[in-house]
Amino acid sequence: MDQRCITAQSDLTLTVERQHTAFSQARDLMMRFAELVKCPEYLHTYKITRLSLWNAASLGLNSQKLIAQLEPFLKFSLPAAVRTHICDIMALWGPLQLIVKDGTINLLVHDKSLLEYIIAEKKVRENLINPETWADQLHSNSPACFTVHPLARGQLKVALMGLGLPVEDIAGYQDGTPHPISLKETLSLREYQKEAVEAFYHNNSVFGGSGAIVLPCGAGKTIVGMSIMAKLGMRTLILGTNVTALHQWKRELLDKTDLLESDIGEYYGNSKNIKPITLATYNILTSRKRKTDPFIHFSLFEAKSWGLIIYDEVHLLPAPVFQATANLQARRRLGLTATLVREDGRSGDVFSLIGPKRYEVPWKTLEEQGWIARANCIEISLPFQRNTVPGYLNLTRREQYRLAACNDSKLEVLATLLEEHSGKSILILGMYLNQLRQAAETFQIPLLDGSSPQRQRNQVYAKFQAGEILILALSKIGNSSVDLPDAQVAIQISGTFGSRQEEAQRLGRILRPKPGDNQAFFYNLVSSPSPEEDFALNRQLFLVEQGYNYTYQRYAEIDQEIDCANY
């Protein structure tokens, strides 16, 4: 079979023919070392970045293997500039290593040509005890070796990453206080879950013990985390985005392990119990009275001799927790997420401080195997009469986006979709509270937002899961860590601009396996013509990279009737 469907450009972009028979194989390969940046109907465009190449290198893929795997898919020869770039960038993985020597952390520099460049950077020098010895070591036959200041392991990695130099951290970890954990015999791990555990654990060697596991929502990331806890058998600190997420962790731990209620502490709100397994929110860790005050609860990181720290939804890690994590490099660190995309550009910090991507599997692969629901992604375009808005062209792009996102016509489409999916469990997801309140009042459905008390959230979630509530409106609190296994339909009426991260999380709300045909529907309502169209395209990039196709339909063209059976 002819596999040639990729064209490589000298500017490090690669285009892939969407309708080629080898597209799926090409896409799976591209996911390993490039990032999707455009996804029109016929040609998808990927960009080779430093971080994407270093993630590939951390998984054992060198430049020769990568190019050898890429060449059968190329329509034309790989440009020399691209070949050189791949070789040069991937060669930067390995020359800088952190090791333990004589009981201290040391930076080894195998490539002496980097020495002067590294030492010239103040942020690097200040983390080393003996930077002035670099000239003496320049002509030595051995790698240059610098002693790292205690607790500076993380800051040094960030500083070197800022210079475009990744550090392979094989200095190992301190063992935390033992606390044996066993999975219940009734729990059987799926093959990909076993692979994820082993990829992180790596035979308990210095080459494992830190990094991110990337799996879609509903694929059992929590089970992977619990399995790693059982492998290590040490005290564990679990950090999550909200109380609801941590309640889910607690339920899963009690249901699937031999842990007792007395083994698990909760650290948030009015509860400040520290136990061998402790659950805490990012919000409590980043709370302080004033911006200039220290973070009150950072002492939790040192309160016990943790053997493992789990960062749930690691792509949402707030900046202050990054800072604290820089001092926790001697602890094993596991990041769990559905996507490593960060809209703030701090993906490099996740790589440096939590660790490289240890395991990922394409969402579509799990869908084909029946482990997650088959999702139909549908974008419905609605007419937007911007000429009727006084001074529209003088508004900022943000203001124009809000007007389009809150297009009143969306309520008409929403009514049609609710009727089409009558009897199914439906989530209405949005960004703007006034818009969500209007929908909640119109259709007489409950709405949960950031101001909803935790007790109310728990009650509403329980009723939704029990089928007592079929339709639920959620603000951004529904973007992550909401266990709604029965949700069959998600309707997105507005989103946070072009956030790929949010799009992935919202689709994830409906991906848990469904009885029967295992079908789920994800609708995105978009006003046209408007800035919302451009943001919608960007939002879809991550999911298209995972293999999802969006079906497009104009609402006005079908006489205001949407027949979901046609999708």
pLDDT of residue 482: 65
Residues 341 and 501: beta-carbon distance below 8 Å: yes
pLDDT of residue 35: 87
Summary mean pLDDT of the chain: 90
Collapsing DSSP to helix, strand or coil, 241 comes out as coil
pLDDT tens-digit readout, 208-234: 899 999 998 889 999 999 999 999 999
Q: How would residue 343 be classed by pLDDT, with cut points 50, 70 and 90?
A: confident
Collapsing DSSP to helix, strand or coil, 80 comes out as helix
Exposed/middle/buried for residue 417 (C-beta within 10 Å: 0-12, 13-18, 19+)? buried
Q: How would residue 344 be classed by pLDDT, with cut points 50, 70 and 90?
A: confident
Q: Which two tokens stand for residue 367?
A: 């869908």
My answer on whether omega of the bond before 390 falls inside 30° of 0, hence cis, is no
Residue the block writes with tokens 């320049």: 138
Where in the chain is CATH 3.40.50.300? 191-361, 370-566
Asked if pLDDT for residue 562 goes beyond 60, the answer is no
Residues 211 and 354: beta-carbon distance below 8 Å: yes
Q: How far is 267 from 195, CA to CA, in rounded Å?
A: 31
pLDDT of residue 36: 81
pLDDT of residue 481: 56
pLDDT of residue 484: 67
pLDDT tens-digit readout, 428-483: 999 999 999 999 999 999 999 988 998 898 899 889 988 999 999 999 887 765 66
Least confident of 158-162, 338-342, 355-359, 493-497: 338-342
Instruction: Please state the separation of Cα 54 from the chain's center in Å.
Output: 17
pLDDT of residue 558: 40
Q: Where are the alpha helices (DSSP H) in 335-408?
A: 347-349, 363-368, 397-405
Residues 496 and 504: beta-carbon distance below 8 Å: no
pLDDT of residue 557: 46
Asked if pLDDT for residue 311 goes beyond 90, the answer is yes
Percent of the chain whose pLDDT exceeds 70: 97
Residue the block writes with tokens 């983390």: 127
Asked if pLDDT for residue 151 goes beyond 90, the answer is no
Give the containing element (helix H, strand E) for 213. Answer: strand 210-214
pLDDT tens-digit readout, 163-214: 999 999 999 999 999 999 999 999 999 999 999 999 999 888 878 899 999 9
Asked if pLDDT for residue 15 goes beyond 90, the answer is yes
Residue the block writes with tokens 């989530």: 427
Bigger pLDDT: 561 or 417?
Answer: 417
Residue the block writes with tokens 């008409």: 412
103-117, 390-404, 503-517: range with highest mean pLDDT: 103-117
pLDDT of residue 485: 61
What pTM was estimated for this model as a whole?
0.86
- Under CATH, which number does the domain 191-361 receive? 3.40.50.300
Least confident of 363-372, 521-530, 554-563: 554-563
Q: How would residue 421 be classed by pLDDT, with cut points 50, 70 and 90?
A: very high
pLDDT of residue 232: 96
Bigger pLDDT: 342 or 196?
Answer: 196
- Under CATH, which number does the domain 370-566 receive? 3.40.50.300
CA dist list (Å): 435 to 408, 441, 497: 9, 10, 15
